[in-house]
Amino acid sequence: MRFILNVLWLVFGGFFLALGYALAGLICFVLIVTIPFGVASFRMANYALWPFGRTLVAKPSAGVGSAAGNVIWIIVAGWWLALGHLVTGIGLCLTIIGIPFGIANFKMIPVALTPLGHEIVDIP
């Protein structure tokens, strides 16, 4: 069932959301200082491409550096990606079949705003 949901997710917007994260990651890799943001962005692109069967959890070892980095991320790219999730989620919720995908988009908004300090884990 997760495979079918992931394939449908990919078709109904997941590919374009992952491209947004990948573009943000490439921009972050251009500047040497923002490479950690690029790594987090590529991690989120992977999650946005194939989200069902995985979840995001907070890293217990994340500290002040992650919090400061998240503030910079929100200003630079986070709010654009969160806006993409919001618009896609609203569009998907307009149809009955798209409601689960819209809810999944809404769940990704907080992590789009603050990707540092989170890790992707498989759901058993």
- Total of domains in the chain: 1
pLDDT of residue 62 exceeding 80, the answer is no
In sequence order, what are the residues at sequence separation of 6 or more whose Cβ sits closer than 8 angstroms to the Cβ of residue 108?
A: 17, 47, 48, 51, 85
Average pLDDT, the chain: 87
Average pLDDT over residues 61-79: 84
Q: Is the pTM of this model over 0.85?
A: no
d(CA 41, CA 20): 9
pLDDT of residue 94 exceeding 90, the answer is yes
Closest to 25 measured CA to CA, from 37, 14, 16: 37
Q: Max alpha carbon distance in the chain (Å)?
A: 45
Domain region containing 16: 2-122
